[in-house]
Amino acid sequence: MKVMSWNRALLFSSILFYVCIQQQFWAGSSISKNKAMVEQLQRYGIIQSKKVAEAMESVDRALFAPDGSLAYEDSPMPIGFNATISAPHMHATCLQLLENNLQPGMHALDVGSGTGYLTACFAHLVGPQGRAIGVDHIPELVEMSIKNVEKSAAGPLLKDGSLALHVGDGREGWPEFAPYDAIHVGAAAPEIPKPLIDQLKPGGRLVIPVGNTFQELKVVDKNEDGSVKVCTETSVRYVPLTSREAQLRGY
Ligand code: SAH
């Protein structure tokens, strides 16, 4: 039997360690306040800007996390319908990547909006002159996300129409308010859906997990001439961007 060399074992365990810390920065009930969660994300260097910290501080994650869950734990949590609310470090990572495209007055699209948490953060950043649109294909989740947002600091933005949550197939984007400065996709696509690239403004940025078992978070920037540049940010693990039927039968 071939035994793994020390070098390979060391490499393997460092990769494993890297994957572990990528997936969870803290666990358990050590954090019981939204502000403490934001400070923790700042300590780990995931939140790097005041603007992202301020948005995540204003939108209390506990209003979006499942009842009775450890709302501030750094872990994805089931929200029903084979979907999850993403871990705080993933929400923070995506907000950081999109920060420059979430300025007051800008248009943002959140595909696979689930609980509505990130759509609410987007709305907070683009403000009443901007547009934050969430799209999810599970009507019950959209209904729940509207209730969550109503309870949150982004509630008034839902009322005035600058934040809206819709039922739809997010692979088609949401043409009504295109082109978008920022598009976020909260589920992993086998490949980048063309309508999302088409609905991106020149200068706009799309953040999307791509892959099946092995997934990477891709950052797609549209240049002024309409061409796109795609970069890989990190390895990730998301539920699939798929049809409603496939999701409801467990993919
Ligand atoms: N970002 C959200 C939810 C992430 S889970 C949050 O953190 O709360 C991924 C979401 O994508 C699920 O809610 C799922 O219903 C949705 N989804 C998957 N495929 C979709 C599609 N084709 N169109 C719209 N939503 C989709």
pLDDT reported for residue 68: 87
Is the Cβ atom of 220 under 6 angstroms away from ligand 1? no
186 lines ligand 1 (CB under 6 A): yes
List the structure tokens of 102. Answer: 């979430």
Report the separation in Å between the CA atom of 215 and the middle of ligand 1, taken as the mean of its atom positions.
16
157 lines ligand 1 (CB under 6 A): no
First-to-final CA distance of the chain: 38
Torsion of CA 121, 126, 127, 130, to 10 degrees: -130
Of residues 29, 32, 49, 86, which has the active-site annotation? 86
The rounded mean pLDDT for the chain is: 92
Residue 125 near residue 107, CB atoms below 8 Å: no
Amino acid, res. 208:
I
**Which ranges of the chain have pLDDT less than 70?**
1-23, 29
Superfamily name with CATH number, domain 27-249: Vaccinia Virus protein VP39 (3.40.50.150)
Tell me if 126 sits within 8 A of 162, measured CB to CB.
yes
Structure token pair of residue 107: 């248009």
Ligand 1 atom at minimum distance from 86 CA:
7
Which of 110, 112, 139 has the alpha carbon at shortest distance from 124? 110
Output the CA 2–ligand 1 centroid distance in Å: 44
Alpha helices in the chain, H assignment, sequence order: 6-23, 34-43, 50-58, 88-98, 117-126, 139-151, 155-159, 194-198, 244-248
Is 86 tagged catalytic? Answer: yes
Cβ–ligand 1 distance for 75 under 6 Å, the answer: no
At 199 the three-state DSSP class reads coil
**From ligand 1's centre to the CA of 65, what distance in Å?**
15
Give 102-128 as a DSSP string: --TT-EEEEES-TTSHHHHHHHHHH-T
Partners of 51 in the beta sheet? Answer: none
Q: Model-level pTM?
A: 0.92
Q: How many helices (H) and strands (E) does the chain have?
A: 9, 9
How far, in Å, CA of 56 to CA of 94, rounded?
A: 12
Query: Residue 5: its pLDDT value, please?
Result: 53
174-188 pLDDT, tens digit per residue, is 999 999 999 999 999
Number of CB atoms found within 10 A of residue 32's CB: 11
Q: Which amino acid residue places its CA nearest to atom 20 of ligand 1?
A: 241
Ligand 1 in contact with 84 (CB < 6 A)? yes
For residue 47 the two structure tokens come to 């939140």
Question: Is 96 touching ligand 1 by the criterion CB < 6 Å?
Answer: no
Output the CA 5–ligand 1 centroid distance in Å: 42
Write the pLDDT tens digit of every residue in 76-126.
999 999 999 999 999 999 999 999 999 999 999 999 999 999 999 999 999
